[in-house]
Structure 1
Amino acid sequence: MKPPVLQVYRRLLTYSRPYARRIVVAMLASLGVAATDVGVAKLVQPLVDEVLVRRELWLVNLVPLIVIGLALLKGLSRYVQEYFIKTAGQLVVQDLRNDLYRHCLRQSLGFYSQTPAGALVSRVVNDVGMLQKSAADELVAMVREGLTLVGLVGLLFYNDWRLALVAFVVLPVALVPASHIGRRIKKYVHKSLSNMGNLTGILHEAFSGIKVVKAFTGEETERRKFEDENLRYYQRLVKVIRYDSATAPLVELLASFGAAGVLWYGIHRVMNGAISQGELFSFVTAMGMMYGPMKRLIKTNNVIQKAVGAAERVFEMLDQAPGLVDAPDALTLAPVRGQVCFERVWFAYQGEDWVLRDFSLVVPPGRVVALVGASGAGKSTLIALLARFYAPQRGRILIDGCDIAGLTQTSLRAQMALVDQETFLFHDSLRNNIRYGRPQATDAEVEEAARQAYADEFIRQLPEGYDTPIGDRGVRLSGGQRQRVCIARAILRDAPILLLDEATSALDSESEAVVQQALVNLMRGRTTFVIAHRLSTIRHADEILLLEDGQLLERGRHDQLLAARGAYHRLYSLQFHDQVAP
């Protein structure tokens, strides 16, 4: 293996250290397997010379006992080895998956905006799964087959060093193509796993958006997309299979040259009286058994190359530093009053123009601030920066006078509750979905939050009430019901700062009226940032901010902004032209 491959494999083996005892037991058991193989080859000589040639009949009765005894020792050793190494391998894979998943969860939202969810799922499931054998299984296989090979080689040289040299002419010749095959396998495994990530991404998108797929009769498009990518995956994988399948025939062909030379030279030595028939049979048996471990070692190298190809992708993900990390001396934010201050904040997404430009704002505790403006004005970005999903390129954001860049992200977000336009619910019970923001909440607190969110009535009408599973993304609920469950979740969190991003945008008028009343309950006593395209929902905000191209264009109460007859007045007139005086 080349140095980079050794480095990857060495890093992979660090995950095996906690389970070293299991691996050591498996290695010791592999000694029993190797010893029985060498013993079988060695016992051929006395079997031929003493039993068959000299007719020592008393030894005949020992033959069955020896055969059964060796089989029992080998079987027991093999069982111990397989059990301990496979359990160690599963534990290693479990740890690696946990680390990879934990690392993905630490990534910023920017990472998820650039990485398809399907590709992440594929790395956590498929790539790590391919590593299972390399982590421990193949390590013990290398030890077992290596010991067997060393033992048989020693026996060959012990029996007849001249014949051994003839047998070993083929060994260095076989290593050259085997090394080339291993490198090709690693290359194509790396590429095929990339295709598998694309496949998983297509599946994830199609199943998540199945309503859109069916509504726009996109089944045929999705089918072709999947089948084309599946074909590309096969074309990559078939190259791995081609090289892997060539290994055994190639070694056997090369081994036949060595075997032919040994038989030709060995028969001549028997006929010349240099060695006995038993010695030749013992030598040929050991040589035949030697090529088995050699083939398996080359096969093991192929498996390791597959694993290294997968490991490179896994470690590539693990080495990708999160876009946002807590400062080394980050402070834990204590419960806050809720004063929010933006100081000359500038922000742009990667490779794009400024979304916020020199933005400044002070919001006293308990105030309700509404953000309005055209799409792309920077409203959602403002909320994302406050929650520190992203960090501004310039300027500061402070909560109760503390710069959020110097706070731990966990303690910062513990002071906030978010109700988003994407009403995401987990495939779980309603009770657990509401409790998500505060896992330690009691059932009574969960139900009280649902009452305040006007969700208790419809929840109790469901077959299992609060314990009703709601399907993937809450598919069994209506839009208004999902929104009220999300509001109940935010009420239960009881955070001093509330972020509402288009919380009623997808609702009909009747549902909006109920949800709006639930939001009134939620906003009471909290510093609240509300984003709304429907201006009717923000008339009673303490202050309305109109953003345009990332800058604060107008601010004031609803009546004040209408009276000013500026941009807000024009925007309001477009929605309620029959209610606004000319």
Structure 2
Amino acid sequence: MRYNPRLLYRRLYRYSKPYLFRILLAMAASLLVSGSDVATAKLVKPFVDDVLIASKSGLVNLVPIIVLGLALIKGAGRYIQEYFIKTAGQLVVQDIRNDLYRHSMNLSMGYFSRSSTGNVMSRILNDVGSLQRTAADVVVEGLRESFTLVGLTVVAFQSDWRLASIAFVVMPISIVPASVIGRRIKDNTRRGQGALGNLTRVLQESLAGIKVIKAFGTETRESERFRKENQRFYYFIRKVLKYDSAATPVVEILSSIGIGAVLWYGIQRVSQGAMTQGDLSSFLAAMLMMYAPLKRLTKVSNAVQRALGSAERVFELMDEKLDIVDREDALVAARPAGHIRFDHVGFSYGEEPVLHDFNLAIQAGEIVALVGPSGSGKSTIIGLLNRFYDPQQGRILIDGQDIRQLTQQSLKQSIALVDQETFLFNDTIRNNIRYGRPEATDGEVEKAASLAYADEFLSVMPEGYETVIGDRGVRLSGGQRQRICIARAILRDAPILLLDEATSALDTESEAMVQKALVNLMENRTTIVVAHRLSTVMHADKIVVLENGRICETGRHQDLLSGEGLYRRLYEMQFADRV
């Protein structure tokens, strides 16, 4: 998506408004800095004419006082300007990053299934970081050099408007290459940040999948993949550096034309007596000092273009529409009894339908198992009930209420999920169990751990509940991680429980322990169990057999086993070695 630069400036200004006082204070201080430079240029004339040529001894003693005074004014102004404008810039970027993160957290699972995690990370970290590095410096340099340029321009025209007109012929000419260079920098910055997003994705995938890489011995292959993405990133950044490096030489070459013309014409005017040596010296000082901010403003312009390239990617993510939103009249759900009904539900992730006219009624407190081949839609049903996605057809009701009419927060409070991907945070065991209910007491946490049979291994850990378990719980076994997740769900105490392949990755001994914990978790709750292992669902109140997104059988284990349908075939395949 391409943004109009004015729109980007307007949005960045909205973020700057709360810190307008700091910015105005910095602007006032920048007037002191530029004013001291203008005063220096202005004082060249009396210094040459009155001190050097006329030798007025009374003024000689004032020279060091004036120099020191100007230095103090300039130093104080520069400090105030840089401190307040840079802190304002940091606060602005901090707000942008907070809003971007908050927005990304509210995006639906559909967005994350379409986009790589690394790319989202790159926008929040790298693109906002690029804004952070340039925003304050751009404003500092831009304000100071702009005021200095304006002041020195006034001095130049006051000294001699003819010479000033010659000097300023160069400026319009330099705008053309500067604008071309700026556009190239912006385009390549945007593409470079996209390449950096891919690089971040490769890095994130490699670190997350380090066990697989080590197991298959593909370190060299992954290093080569990273090297290629890194090279691609360098390709775009090299272009940014090329154009950025060309900006100053172009301005200097054009400036030399103006300086040469001014010297030739100015010397002639001094020879003719039309102006004094002091006038010429003062003008030359103003002109030379004037070209310095002009060169720096060219650099500032390039930095602005780099920032705009990053800002486009930042606001592109911020403008990503939320697929799942609360209605204006959404209701806050009271604690439900747990009646669930899927009413003619149809859903597809893309063009290929996953669920077709799906109808299912679940009574409060009932345990319902969803079984079937991979891709039959079992996990999709869990995702729809959690409202990770909304169905394209039909509706899902809890206690007769369409879940789209409820606030997402109150819906999530009614549901506890234990997933096959046992995600734990790099924090203490206590905080991981407490994650779904932060206000829970230590006693409630420990009771939940006991019901999940997690206290068995917690009691032998040196730090017990205060043990930090590492990234994704790497310091725990699969069964231990799963019991922590079950304890988390028990503590949440939601009336509806969703178990999505909760024991699929466990060995027999761990599975037996986790199954005991699940019995405690399912007590007095409406439970939907997704499982490939039919041994885990034999005692369900109802088993729903899915195939190609449709229900092909429903019943209890013995009823389905006595038939000739898909459930019996699946059972015979799993238990063929026992026959």
TM-score by shorter chain over 0.5 = yes
Q: Paired residue for 1:57?
A: 57
Alpha carbons 2:86, 2:140 under 8 Å: kept:
no
Whether contact under 8 Å (2:90, 2:136) holds in the other structure is no
1:383 is matched with 382
> How far apart in 2 are the matches of 1:383 and 1:549?
16
Aligned to 1:203: 203
- The code of the aligned residue for 2:30 comes to S
* CA–CA distance in structure 2, aligned partners of residues 499 and 244 of structure 1: 56
Is 1:215 aligned to 2:182, yes or no? no
Q: Which SS does the other structure have where 2:10 is aligned?
A: helix
Alpha-carbon distance between aligned partners in 2 of 1:354 and 1:44, rounded to the nearest angstrom: 81
CA displacement at 1:565 relative to structure 2: 3.6
- Deviation string 1:239-263 (CA, Å, 9 cap, x unpaired) is 1001111111111111111111111
Hey, what's the Cα distance between the residues in 2 that align with 1:88 and 1:376?
52
The alpha carbon displacement at 1:6 in A equals 2.1
Equivalence for 1:471: 470
Report if aligned partners of 1:12, 1:135 keep a CA contact under 8 Å in 2.
no
Question: Which AA in structure 2 matches 1:153?
Answer: T
TM-score (norm 2): 0.98
Q: Secondary structure at the match of 1:55?
A: coil
Q: Is the partner of 1:336 in helix, strand or coil?
A: coil
1:126-162 CA distance string (max 9 Å, x none): 1011112554542343232111111111111111111
- 5 Å-filtered alignment, 1:188-337, equals 188-337=188-337
**Structure 1: which amino acid aligns with 2:212?**
V
> Structure 2: how far apart are the matches of 1:188 and 1:379?
45
Q: Which residue of 2 aligns with 1:513?
A: 512
1:366-398: CA deviation from partner (whole Å, max 9, x where unpaired): 000011110011111111111111111111100
**Alpha-carbon distance change, 578 to 6 in structure 1, aligned in 2, over 3 angstroms:** closer
Matched residues in 1 for 2:478 and 2:544: separation? 28
Letter in 1 for 2:551: L
| Aligned position for 1:158 | 158
Structure 1 segments unaligned to the other structure (5+ residues): none
| Corresponding residue number in structure 1 for 2:409 | 410
Given that 2:85 and 2:139 are in contact with CA atoms closer than 8 Å, whether structure 1 keeps it comes out as: no
Structure 2, unpaired ranges of 5+: none
Question: Does 2:570 align with 1:571?
Answer: yes
Letter in 2 for 1:246: A
Report if aligned partners of 2:82, 2:140 keep a CA contact under 8 Å in 1.
no
Q: Distance in 1 between matches of 2:36 and 2:366?
A: 81
> How large is the Cα RMSD of the aligned pairs?
1.2
Structure 1 pair 341–205 and aligned structure 2 pair: CA distance change class (3 A) = same
Shift of 1:340: 0.2
Question: Does 1:483 find its partner at 2:477?
Answer: no
Deviation, structure 1 residue 177 = 0.5
Contact 2:3 2:312 in 1 (8 A): no
The answer to whether structure 1 residue 80 and structure 2 residue 87 are counterparts is no
* In 1: Cα distance, 2:133 partner to 2:286 partner: 28
1:29-178 equivalences under 5 Å are: 29-132=29-132, 135-178=135-178
AA aligned opposite 1:539: M
Task: Tell me, yes or no, if the aligned pair for 1:23 and 1:140 is still in contact at 8 Å.
Answer: no
**Cα distance in structure 2, aligned partners of 1:101 and 1:388:** 20
State the percentage of identical aligned residues: 60
Distance in 1, matches of 2:200 and 2:578, equals: 51
Residue in 1 aligned with 2:179? 179
**Aligned partners of 2:535, 2:493: CA distance in 1, in Å?**
26
Question: Which amino acid is the alignment partner of residue 556 of structure 2?
Answer: R
In 1: Cα distance, 2:521 partner to 2:210 partner: 33
Of the structure 1 ranges 395-404 and 8-17, higher mean CA displacement relative to structure 2 is found in 8-17
Amino acid at match of 2:482: Q
Q: Secondary structure at the match of 2:345?
A: strand
Deviation at 1:172, TM superposition (A): 0.8
The alignment covers a number of residue pairs equal to 578
Equivalent residue number for residue 17 of structure 1: 17
Letter in 1 for 2:153: V
* 2:533 partner letter: R
Determine if contact 2:338/2:526 at 8 Å carries over to the other structure. Answer: yes
**Does the Cα contact within 8 Å between 1:89 and 1:133 map onto a contact in 2?**
no
CA drift of 1:332 comes to: 1.1
**Alignment-mate amino acid for residue 479 of structure 1:** G
Alpha-carbon distance between aligned partners in 1 of 2:288 and 2:61, rounded to the nearest angstrom: 27
Deviation at 1:564, TM superposition (A): 2.3
Alpha-carbon distance between aligned partners in 1 of 2:147 and 2:572, rounded to the nearest angstrom: 86
Output aligned runs, 1:357-372, within 5 Å. 357-372=356-371
Residues 389-400 of structure 1: matches in 2 within 5 Å? 389-400=388-399
Contact 1:356 1:378 in 2 (8 A): yes
Listed one character per residue, the Cα deviations across residues 258-299 of structure 1 (whole Å, up to 9, x for unaligned) are 111111111111111111111111100000000011111111
Corresponding position of 1:349: 349
Give the Cα–Cα distance (whole angstroms) in 1 for the partners of residues 489 and 522 of structure 2: 10
Instruction: Say which SS state the counterpart of residue 98 (structure 1) adopts.
Output: helix
SS where residue 463 of structure 1 aligns?
coil
Give the CA deviation at 1:579: 5.4
Looking at structure 2, the residues matched to 459 and 475 of structure 1 have their Cα atoms a distance apart, in angstroms, of 15
1:460 to partner: Cα distance: 2.2
Q: Secondary structure at the match of 1:164?
A: helix
* CA contact 1:347–1:355 (8 Å) conserved in 2: yes
Matched position secondary structure for 2:237: helix
Say if 1:435 and 1:492, in contact at 8 Å, map to a contact too. Answer: yes
SS of equivalent to 2:436: coil
Deviations 1:37-69 (A, max 9, x none): 000001111111001101001111110111111
String of CA shifts for 1:112-134, please: whole Å, max 9, x gaps. 11111111110001101111255
Q: Answer whether contact 1:387 1:413 (CA < 8 A) is retained.
A: yes
CA-to-aligned-CA distance 1:306-343 (integer Å, 9 cap, x gap): 11111111111111101211122111111100000111
Q: Distance in 2 between matches of 1:80 and 1:139?
A: 13
Counterpart contact for 1:16–1:135, Cα < 8 Å: no
